[in-house]
Amino acid sequence: MSENYDDPIWLAVFKEAEAAAQAEPLLASFLHMTVLRHDTLEDVLAFHLSSKLSSPVMDARALMELFREALAADPVIGQKMRADIVACYDRDPACEGYSIPLLYFKGFHAIQSQRVTHWLWQQGRQTLALFLQNRISEVTGADIHPAARIGQGVMLDHGTGVVVGETAVIGDNVSILHGVTLGGSGKERGDRHPKIGDGVLIGTGAAILGNIHVGECAKVGAGSVVLDDVPPHSTVAGVPAKVVGSPGPGTPGLDMDQRV
Amino acid sequence: MSENYDDPIWLAVFKEAEAAAQAEPLLASFLHMTVLRHDTLEDVLAFHLSSKLSSPVMDARALMELFREALAADPVIGQKMRADIVACYDRDPACEGYSIPLLYFKGFHAIQSQRVTHWLWQQGRQTLALFLQNRISEVTGADIHPAARIGQGVMLDHGTGVVVGETAVIGDNVSILHGVTLGGSGKERGDRHPKIGDGVLIGTGAAILGNIHVGECAKVGAGSVVLDDVPPHSTVAGVPAKVVGSPGPGTPGLDMDQRV
Amino acid sequence: MSENYDDPIWLAVFKEAEAAAQAEPLLASFLHMTVLRHDTLEDVLAFHLSSKLSSPVMDARALMELFREALAADPVIGQKMRADIVACYDRDPACEGYSIPLLYFKGFHAIQSQRVTHWLWQQGRQTLALFLQNRISEVTGADIHPAARIGQGVMLDHGTGVVVGETAVIGDNVSILHGVTLGGSGKERGDRHPKIGDGVLIGTGAAILGNIHVGECAKVGAGSVVLDDVPPHSTVAGVPAKVVGSPGPGTPGLDMDQRV
Amino acid sequence: MSENYDDPIWLAVFKEAEAAAQAEPLLASFLHMTVLRHDTLEDVLAFHLSSKLSSPVMDARALMELFREALAADPVIGQKMRADIVACYDRDPACEGYSIPLLYFKGFHAIQSQRVTHWLWQQGRQTLALFLQNRISEVTGADIHPAARIGQGVMLDHGTGVVVGETAVIGDNVSILHGVTLGGSGKERGDRHPKIGDGVLIGTGAAILGNIHVGECAKVGAGSVVLDDVPPHSTVAGVPAKVVGSPGPGTPGLDMDQRV
Amino acid sequence: MSENYDDPIWLAVFKEAEAAAQAEPLLASFLHMTVLRHDTLEDVLAFHLSSKLSSPVMDARALMELFREALAADPVIGQKMRADIVACYDRDPACEGYSIPLLYFKGFHAIQSQRVTHWLWQQGRQTLALFLQNRISEVTGADIHPAARIGQGVMLDHGTGVVVGETAVIGDNVSILHGVTLGGSGKERGDRHPKIGDGVLIGTGAAILGNIHVGECAKVGAGSVVLDDVPPHSTVAGVPAKVVGSPGPGTPGLDMDQRV
Amino acid sequence: MSENYDDPIWLAVFKEAEAAAQAEPLLASFLHMTVLRHDTLEDVLAFHLSSKLSSPVMDARALMELFREALAADPVIGQKMRADIVACYDRDPACEGYSIPLLYFKGFHAIQSQRVTHWLWQQGRQTLALFLQNRISEVTGADIHPAARIGQGVMLDHGTGVVVGETAVIGDNVSILHGVTLGGSGKERGDRHPKIGDGVLIGTGAAILGNIHVGECAKVGAGSVVLDDVPPHSTVAGVPAKVVGSPGPGTPGLDMDQRV
């Protein structure tokens, strides 16, 4: 590692990986290949995601180069990645290091990969973006359309069963549990998926359907089916979902209290 | 490609793949190996599914041959595949080509693979069918019993978390969103899973349990838990689900309006 | 196989695999490599899980050795495995042999793998446990924290979308359908996940959130969101879940009647 | 296996493989996948060679199909293969079964693969033939130009280090030890490599250079460098090679006596 | 491809690969992945050699990066590669394109790989150089010590069985056939291997042993064992080798006439 | 590593690997997986050879277990391995550590693998031995019959092109260069291959043919073709080989002076 003192997240990830490689012989090989021989967090991410997404018909080298190209072309992807790492570390009591989401969280991998498919989509490379969406979905269980727009500091916890549609928008500091759907409705093209405000928490298994708004700092209860706009700072729950209260003064997306 | 003018779906898939290989160097390798060097849609499907389902203990060559054998023995599998491609193209606004579901939609892959396990099951090759069900479930997240009967023009959107039981029957022109369960109940053998009529739409996360009938052109709301028969042309929703209205004169399975 | 007359489950698995290899040439290779050349059920499990969990960055040999080490160090893992095999055989009408869950059920694979991560966790090998949790989650769709405690005779049916948190406890003879969450709430550390009593049945898609107790022989309806303690021998359902009756005199976890 | 009583070689190979799979658990997987699930010697060869020649950039399925295509288009390849199997069995004291050269002899694999590259060359598919020549050479150590013409009943013993040039011709019942060169000389195009008559034996490490003729039933001593025509039924040896005697009345290519 | 008009070899390779991908569907996948999606000959070489040298314990991505690093750090490697391509094209009558040696000649791959191990050796990275020497030797059959110095315009024809020792030096425009040894003698360290002058031709199977000089434009006959200095413009042959004549006014390394 | 002070070779190998992993990030992954996480030289050898010899049809795990079984059953294999490591270290000036032959020398790998095939042969497992002989020959270029008997302290330098027949015997402290043949002659079964005495040196490309004896401490010159017994302490050379002198008072197999 070239010492990169301007990137504290990278320093932390590197030190954690170094300690883990020392303590756990079975992981030393993986950690050297994936983390310790690299110089930046971007290189680690490109290597790690290409390990996960390569297949008998898509060479890991080609994927790694693609991820590097995207990360170099759009530095915001790397900035958001760092914010997402911090988000997982701060919000998930079971996450005891910065390297943990980077290396081991499917939901984190799904979001970072989608940021690359999003960049491809913007470049007019739709087919490659769809190819990767398929592969990401196979590996992580999260199916996020390349065109969806995702803020920073977003935590996709576990990720399995998550579906995010083409025209969905997710704000900053949002937390989304597994099994959540930001879905469209009907077969018309155009803007048809939910818009999620900053600081929102969406509980496990909730389905939010249609071009509706979930206001900032709202909380959507687990298992809810949301068909109408959700006011800011409100809590909704039920099938169909109704306002059942308020999450209080905090930010649900940061506080992670799914209970309503 | 031998020009096969009798198969417009194949012609469209071929042309789309040709254009994509031209436009996207990173996919050219995949598209040549998987599509462009073949002569029929059946050969493409056999190759593509064997890429996805092979593993350290199941050779891709053996799987490809099995898929070819099934597709040759039962031409209906190929016919239904074409109807399913058209279904995805017509119903999913994010699907902009006939090659897209064939190559990139997990739900599509799960159904086509199940049609082969179904053929195996009918041939008395239960163990191989179960081996493949397991592998399909690992790759697509959709766990469909080989004995289940599935019509044509069926769209399994996203597919993650879908479970379809042994004695379930799915009619024609049905659309099933992710996270849907067509489950049994109890541990008795015999006919114990739902029967889904033609034209039905089942919203995300809905659970339909037991040997009950969902009438033709009914709509099941997202997140519903259905424990009783659903009348034709009705809309049900809730936990447990109740009739909440009618989907109107159209065919819900084609119109894709999940909202209730 | 050295004849191991003290292990009737192993004898049954061996005979079933032998018959299947004879009847199904396409599986003969897999069955010989995975089952027939081994001497104990533990060796079969170690080989089979290492086939499933190995990856471009984690060698199958290293994983196999790890599984063997764990199974040798803690014989209870093997005992519980046998009880889980019997549980699947007894409760799942679609399961027609002892070898079927061992070889082909994702939920079974997820539990057995977690038992190894649990052993690692207890040994202070947290990072390796998290590495494996990630990989198990990718393959099976079930994301079970290594620290969670799981009894014996547990059936995780299908497994896709299941999430079980760090401080969750699952009793004996419990059946959990796919899409079930035993989740925490909030970002505080400490005991924060559900405790599931013996004999409980949890229906598909149910979310049980927080450090609450589900009493023995209770039944949780499909799609329920459970936020409060559930009394023993009661049935709860709905969003949020309420007591709606009693499952009667039997053991719901064994009777598998999801309907409420 | 469909019983194919017209093909005694295939019957012998099948029975030997069946016995070996029974006796040797570690080979059962390989033998089932490679031999026992097939119906013809041609299918076995196509599968086995594609196992050996596939690589990260050339799919085993595509190679298997190519070998099948060639074997179907030119049945002489299969006939010669059978004669080569018999040749190895008859001439090599260490070869105790018909399946042994088919499955385990590099020199045999090199010749059979070259027969396919030869067919490709005749079809005008030069580049693919060269691609395969390279791969065959990497795996077997024998570098035989696709244009070279090779008779039947030819044994390439061990094969390592063998080089056979573009315009070389090898007759029937020839035996060639490892390290033998049938080379050209100079950089002019045109007919420039040796012609080897029927029944010839070429000892290990011999180099035969230029468009010269080795007469039928001649013997070329180990380590010889042959720059001139060799009369029929003569023995040559030395650097450069000279006639040192006669091999006697037998056929050197069948008798395998390298000593001069 | 970014049009790179300053590199006629790259232009030729690209056009040849493009035509081959068009003409040969089975190679289209390989050619796109290996050649057509790249921008420089260096990138093609790095990709191609990493395909060939990767293994279960050495990731192809890591190797590709290493080759790129070496090719960027020492541009002479790329210059010599181009000279070697031209050498093969000019001297080998069976070589009908510039892409042929680059893609399909083992001897070419061995030299180019050695140039990278040589760079590593000079950087003090001995162990990695030895790791790669082993792998190159397994794949190509040519075992060339990383410390050996090799000129440009060198053709290693076929390459199998070639051994080149630590202190050997090979001049420019040298041609070396397969099975040639540039060996040491004795177990003392220090300068102990042959020095080959410019324009030399070494015939197949020749062994040149000890710290001796082969003068410029000399020819060493096939199968010779050379233990003493060879005068410039002379021809040696035999075991042990003696001067047998003169190769005439030309350059043996270019004329490729192995006959003596 | 459990400190194993009774095995100085293992200690040296471990320390060298540890230093190399530290100094060379690209090898750290390989060295951890192959060396550093193991406890004995036998485990390293079993892992390393199974990496090299596994293939699409032979699982690395099964091979590793086989090698371990052999090494445990016959401890002499491990003792001879250590003597061979020392032999390479002492005799090859280019070998600067005990780990170098173990990890990187093809000839060393070929001998150690043959010791396992020899054990299999003695156990009556001929087919598996032949399967492995083929694979060893593909990877190392050395084709050594499982029945051949090989002493200790043997160095097979480079190994490419070496052939050793079924009834050959190699004594202790022998050195054999690449391209050497210990061959039979004729097609009769029975004792038909050379017997090589202790301390012999066989130069590159030499062919020793028939059931003849090479006396102890003899030297066979490079490129020789030996058809008659070689007296002890004599030097033979030429085609055919004749006594040309004496190697002097030392042991040619240790002194490594190929020159005659």
Q: Note the pLDDT tens digit of each residue in E16-70.
A: 999 999 999 999 999 999 999 999 999 999 999 999 999 999 999 999 999 999 9
**Residue D55 burial (CB < 10 Å; 0-12/13-18/19+)?**
middle
DSSP H helix total and E strand total for chain E: 9, 15
Read off the pLDDT of each residue in A99-112 and give the average, rounded to a whole number.
98
Chain C residues with CB-CB distance to B62 below 8 A? 26, 29
φ, ψ dihedrals at C126, nearest 5°: -60, -45
Alpha-carbon gap, residue A173 to A151, rounded angstroms: 7
Q: Testing the interface with E: which of A49, A55, A59, A66 to mutate, by most E Cβ within 10 A? A: A59
Tens digits of per-residue pLDDT, F158-215?
999 999 999 999 999 999 999 999 999 777 889 999 999 999 999 999 999 999 999 9
What pLDDT score does B188 carry? 80
Could B221 and A225 be called an inter-chain contact, meaning their C-beta atoms sit closer than 8 Å? Answer: yes
Mean pLDDT for the stretch of residues F17-28:
96
Q: Please answer yes or no on whether E66 and F26 come within 8 Å at the CB atom.
A: yes
Q: What is the 3-state secondary structure (H, E, C) of chain B?
A: CCCCCCCHHHHHHHHHHHHHHHHCHHHHHHHHHHHHCCCCHHHHHHHHHHHHHCECCECHHHHHHHHHHHHHHCHHHHHHHHHHHHHHHHHCCCCCCCHHHHHHCHHHHHHHHHHHHHHHHHCCCHHHHHHHHHHHHHHHCCEECCCCEECCCCEECCCCCCEECCCCEECCCCEECCCCEEECCCCCCCCCCCEECCCCEECCCCEEECCCEECCCCEECCCCEECCCECCCCEEECCCCEEEECCCCCCHHHHCCCCC
Confidence of residue C94 (pLDDT cuts 50, 70, 90): confident
Asked if D239 and D256 touch (Cβ cutoff 8 Å), the reply is no
Q: What is the pLDDT of residue F97?
A: 96
Amino acid identity of F195?
A: K
What's the gap in Å between the CA of A2 and the closest CA on chain C? 23
Q: Would you state the pLDDT for residue D1?
A: 46
C257 and B145 within 8 Å at the Cβ level: the answer is no
Taking residues B38-67, what's their average pLDDT?
97
Instruction: Give the per-residue SS3 of E102-148.
Output: HHHCHHHHHHHHHHHHHHHHHCCCHHHHHHHHHHHHHHHCCEECCCC
Residue B94: which pLDDT band, with cuts at 50, 70 and 90? confident
Q: Which residues contact D54 (CB under 8 A, 6 or more apart)?
A: D60, D63, F56
Quick one: tokens of E63?
């190797």
Per-chain mean pLDDT for chain B: 95
E97-114 CB burial, b ≥16 within 10 A, e <16: bbbbbbbbbbbbbbbbbb
The whole-number pLDDT of residue F88 equals 96
Closest CA in chain E for residue F239: E239
Query: Which one of E61, E67, E68, E125 would you mutate to disrupt binding with A, by most A Cβ within 10 Å of its Cβ?
Result: E61
Mean per-residue pLDDT for D54-82?
A: 97
List, in order, residues 6 or more apart from D113 with CB less than 8 Å away: D49, D53, D132, D136, D140
In a mutational test of the F interface, the residue from E55, E57, E236 whose CB has the highest number of chain F CBs within 10 Å is E57
Interchain proximity E33–A60, CB inside 8 Å = no
F72-108 confidence digits (pLDDT tens): 999 999 999 999 999 999 999 888 999 999 999 999 9
Between positions 221 and 240 of E, the ones with CB within 8 A of F are 223-225, 227, 239-240
Considering only the beta carbons, identify the residue of D106, D239, D258 that sits closest to F185. Answer: D258
pLDDT at E125 over 80: yes
Does position A232 have pLDDT exceeding 50, yes or no?
Answer: yes
Closest-CA distance, A211 to chain D, in angstroms, reads: 45
Q: Which of E54, E204, E260 sits opposite D183 (nearest CB)?
A: E204
Contact by Cβ (8 Å): D125, D93: no
Alpha-carbon dihedral angle through residues E72, E76, E77, E83, given to the nearest 10 degrees: 140
* E242-245 and F143-144 beta bridge pairing: unpaired
Does B47 reach chain D within 8 Å, measured CB to CB? yes
Interface test mutation site (partner D, options C1, C24, C29, max chain D beta carbons within 10 A): C29
Q: Which pLDDT does position C1 carry in this prediction?
A: 46
Whether the predicted pLDDT of A64 surpasses 90: yes
**Among positive and negative, which fits the CA dihedral C226, C228, C232, C234?**
negative
D241-250, long-range: CB < 8 A, 24+ apart: D241/D206, D247/D201, D247/D217, D247/D218, D247/D219, D250/D217
Average the pLDDT over B172-194 and give the result: 93
Residues of C in contact with F128 (CB under 8 A): none
F-proximal residues of E, 54-73, CB under 8 Å: 55-59, 62, 66
Q: How many residues does chain C have?
A: 260
Asked if residue D12 has pLDDT above 80, the reply is yes
pLDDT greater than 70 at residue C182:
yes
| Residue in B with minimal Cα distance to A132 | B104
Supply the pLDDT for residue D4.
62
Cross-chain Cβ contact A60/E64 below 8 Å: no
Distance, CA of D216 to CA of D207 (rounded, Å): 17
Average pLDDT, chain D: 95
**CA dihedral in degrees (C44, C46, C48, C50; nearest 10)?**
-160
pLDDT at B1 over 90: no
Confidence of residue C260 (pLDDT cuts 50, 70, 90): confident
Averaged pLDDT, A14-22: 97
Subunits with 3+ Cβ pairs within 8 Å of C are A, B, D, E, F
CB contact under 8 A, F64 and C60: no
Using CB atoms, which residue from E127, E134, E137 is nearest to F20?
E127
ipTM of the complex: 0.96
* C66 closest CB neighbour out of A26, A54, A93: A26
CA angle F18–F24–F26, rounded 5-degree value: 115
pLDDT tens digit string along E203-250? 999 999 999 999 999 999 999 999 999 999 999 999 999 999 999 888
Q: What is the mean pLDDT of residues C120-127?
A: 97
Cβ of residue C32 closer than 8 Å to a chain D Cβ = yes
pLDDT above 80: residue B2: no
Q: Please report the pLDDT score of residue A5 as a whole number.
A: 64
Do residues A70 and A76 lie in contact, with contact meaning Cβ atoms separated by under 8 Å? no
What tens digit of pLDDT does each residue of D170-193 get?
999 999 999 999 999 877 889 999
Partner F, chain E 116-175, Cβ-Cβ below 8 Å: 125-128, 130-131, 133-134, 137-138, 141, 143, 145, 160-161, 163, 165-166
- Interface test with chain F among E54, E66, E120, E137, by most F beta carbons within 10 Å: E137
Preferred mutation among A2, A37, A44 to probe F, highest tally of F CBs within 10 A = A37
pLDDT at A1 over 50: no
Domains and their CATH numbers in chain F: 1-143 (1.10.3130.10), 148-260 (2.160.10.10)
Alpha carbons D166 and B83: distance in angstroms, whole number: 52
Give the integer Cα–Cα distance in Å for F247 and F225: 18
Per-residue pLDDT at D260: 84
Using CA coordinates, name the residue in chain B closest to D62. Answer: B33
Which other chains touch chain B, taking contact as 3+ CB pairs less than 8 Å apart?
Answer: A, C, D, E, F
Query: Does the pTM exceed 0.90?
Result: yes
Task: Find, in chain F, the residue whose alpha carbon is nearest to that of B55.
Answer: F56
Contact of B39 with chain D, judged by CB distance below 8 Å, is answered with: no
Subunit contact B127:C94, Cβ cutoff 8 A: no
What is the pLDDT, as a whole number, of residue B64? 98
Q: Is D19 exposed, middle or buried (0-12, 13-18, 19+ CB in 10 A)?
A: middle
Q: What is the pLDDT of residues D26-38, one digit of tens each?
A: 999 999 999 999 9
F61 contact residues in C (CB cutoff 8 A): 47, 50, 60-61, 64
Strand partners, A195: A169, A213
Instruction: Supply φ then ψ for residue F68, to 5 degrees.
Output: -65, -40
**Using CB atoms, which chains have 3+ pairs under 8 A with D?**
A, B, C, E, F
